[in-house]
Copies of this chain bind each other. A is one copy, B any other.
Amino acid sequence: MNQQEATEVERANEAFYQAFESLDVKRMAAVWADSGHVTVVHPGWPLIQGHEAVMASWARIFEHASLMRFMVTATTCTVVEDWAWVTCTENITSVNDGRVGEGRVQATNIYVKRGALWLCVHHHGSPLGLG
């Protein structure tokens, strides 16, 4: 794996969290591969599969959120040719249904290269204690 590709994937991961912070489903859709095979596990939720269902899950999360800010730490990135997986800790400040919250989530994000873009095909977030 070369450094340039690792940097590209890390930027894709940043774009994923910027889309998350935007609370805009269209922006989130733009960072995902448009495939029936994409999958997501939100903290405490069962698996959701397929582009449409995955985007519906983001819409549901964004509907309740009026603010979402991520400080992403402990990022690891492994690039294997045209795919990569990233693990990171999401340190989250959020306002959901008017309630301010702080949380930590451990995430696995899988990306595939499509042309010049690295697109998300899987996101798995799981709750961590506040550190």
Question: A residues touching B (Cβ–Cβ < 8 Å)?
Answer: 37, 39, 41, 43-47, 49, 74, 76, 78, 80, 83, 85, 87, 89, 106, 108, 110, 112, 121-122, 124-129
Q: Is the CB of B87 within 8 A of A74?
A: no
With a CB–CB cut-off of 8 A, which chain B residues contact A122? Answer: 85, 87, 108
Copies of this polypeptide in the complex: 2
Alpha-carbon gap, A106 to B123, bound state (A): 12
Name the residue on B nearest A37 (C-beta).
B78
With a CB–CB cut-off of 8 A, which chain B residues contact A45? Answer: 106
Q: Is the CB of A89 within 8 A of B124?
A: no
With a CB–CB cut-off of 8 A, which chain B residues contact A47? Answer: 74, 76, 87, 89, 106
8 Å CB contact of A126 from B43, B83, B89, B112: B43
Q: Known interface pairs A39-B76, A41-B108, A78-B39. Does A89 touch B46 (Cβ–Cβ under 8 Å)?
A: yes
With a CB–CB cut-off of 8 A, which chain B residues contact A80? Answer: 83, 112
Name the residue on B nearest A129 (C-beta).
B44
Q: Known interface pairs A49-B76, A129-B44. Does A108 touch B108 (Cβ–Cβ under 8 Å)?
A: yes
Least CB distance from A32 to B in Å reads: 14
